[in-house]
Structure 1
Amino acid sequence: MGLDDASLTALAVLGDELRRRMFDVIRREHRPLTREEVAARVGVSRKLAAFHLDKLVAAGLLRAHYASPSGIRKVGRRPKVYEPVDAAIEVSVPERRFQLLADLLTDAVLRAGPGESAHDAAVRVAGEHGESVGAAERARIRPGRLGPERGLTLALDTLDRLGFEPERATPTLVRLRNCPFHPLAAKAPELVCDLNRAFLAGYLRGLGSDATDAVLAPVPGRCCVELRARPTADGSNGA
């Protein structure tokens, strides 16, 4: 899965220079603008402006509604106005999840217990967040007890959506080819890798995969965590 299709579509729509200018005009105005106002600002006809504005709406970059931009009610149909949506456009190759990391660190600061270090609070919060993600996935698919191979199989789609680019190296080993938190992981590897492992371990707990471990296994060019089947009593990686 990987890249966000909505963001890629938005970027493709903004590939047109005229649409970029119109989008910039509306974004900088800080108020809704009519088609006529936008057309006058960029020097095109109202009909052409309407065509491109509707393309920007369809791409999720603008929203449109009918209202008087001056706030004064007038006789007849109110003009259609356009304004930017709140969401930002983010595309990264390979995929990064800085917002997730920022949310975990912010939550850790707000929820740190008495005497708990910042590092320990962040690791705890990361594990709790991962567990909630895994529990939600388990509720959706409603599995019974998961053996290691089944647990790893179910983890693949979620980890792909999160940008880890999972690779099933063996039936009982998943390597993560991308670190969604790079290059921050390179700046503070102990903190970020511990958060990463705690998040993934929590995810496996929430999923109900009690036969699979998230293990720190740093390798250059890959995520620092691997998912491995837990050895059985006879020392093998069982089913």
Structure 2
Amino acid sequence: MTADGIKAIAALDDELRRGMYAFIRTAGRPVTRDEAAESVGISRKLAAFHLDKLVAAGLLQARYQRAGRVGRAPKVYEPAEADIQVAIPQRQHGLLAEVLLDAVVTHDAGEAAMRAASRRGKHLGAQERERVKLGRLGAERALTVTEGILAQQGFEVNRESPTCVRLRDCPFHPVTAQAPDLVCKINQAYLAGFLDGLEAPTVQAVLERVPGACCVCLRAAQSGDQ
């Protein structure tokens, strides 16, 4: 547990800051002070104070973005490349994940890892289906249900369209860097298993590598793919 981590968590111990930070994380683009202020219903001046606190804590980064040839460039805010974890007592889950991933890669056990991920995802999907008592799911309804469940599980999701949900950020960062291709496939297998357990054949988990986003996208299946 680092001092920077404690500082970042402390900065979020304020409802207005948490609201603005959540808004900026989900915006998918640079956000101005006026937009951040409007998102939580406060003045621009008060928003600037809280935004500067989030920047100082390492949660946001700020820059000036010129909107045109005339006028002053507005200050905009984006999520910082921060990976903050605070645990008491200190745990080493990341180290264990790296060791296990190294064992999987070394012993060529990628297929076994993907099968395990699929089983785990399927269990979650079946569990949620039983809990909510879902009936037959069309693509848009299945994506709406999936979006809510994944958000509860800590995934950052973005509904790009009625027929597409994309994971905004890699849920396995920074371990992904150790074996990106394998981790992406494990993630895909987990989400595909989840859809299977949810009994949602109208949606597919597909690999679509996009800079700055997760490699997996959930899309409505084509009629011939269901």
Equivalences for 1:21-170 in 2 at 5 Å?
88=89, 98=94, 102=97, 105=100, 117-170=108-161
Give the greater-gyration-radius structure (CA). Answer: 1
1:187 to partner: Cα distance: 2.5
Query: Does residue 177 of structure 1 match 2:168?
Result: yes
Query: Equivalent residue for 1:221?
Result: 212
Residues in 2 aligned to 1:219 and 1:164: alpha-carbon distance in whole angstroms: 17
1:210 to partner: Cα distance: 1.0
Corresponding residue to 2:187 among 191, 196, 199: 196
Per the normalisation by structure 2, the TM-score is 0.54
CA pair 141-88 structure 1, distance change in 2 beyond 3 A: farther
Per the normalisation by structure 1, the TM-score is 0.51
Equivalences for 1:220-239 in 2 at 5 Å?
220-233=211-224
1:215 to partner: Cα distance: 0.3
CA RMSD of aligned residues (A): 3.3
Please give the per-residue CA displacement for 1:199-236, whole angstroms capped at 9, x wherever unaligned. Answer: 00001111111110000011121111000000125x9x
Residues in 2 aligned to 1:212 and 1:153: alpha-carbon distance in whole angstroms: 11
Query: Equivalent residue for 1:69?
Result: none
Residues in 1 aligned to 2:178 and 2:142: alpha-carbon distance in whole angstroms: 32
Query: Equivalent residue for 1:23?
Result: none
Give the secondary structure class of the aligned counterpart of 1:122. Answer: helix
Query: Equivalent residue for 1:57?
Result: none
1:143 to partner: Cα distance: 0.8
Unaligned 5+ segments in structure 2 are: 1-5, 14-86
Residues in 2 aligned to 1:147 and 1:200: alpha-carbon distance in whole angstroms: 17
1:158 to partner: Cα distance: 1.8
Unaligned 5+ segments in structure 1 are: 1-7, 16-85, 91-96, 110-115
Q: Give the percent of matched residue pairs that are identical in Structure 1 and Structure 2.
A: 48
Please give the per-residue CA displacement for 1:62-97, whole angstroms capped at 9, x wherever unaligned. Answer: xxxxxxxxxxxxxxxxxxxxxxxx96468xxxxxx9
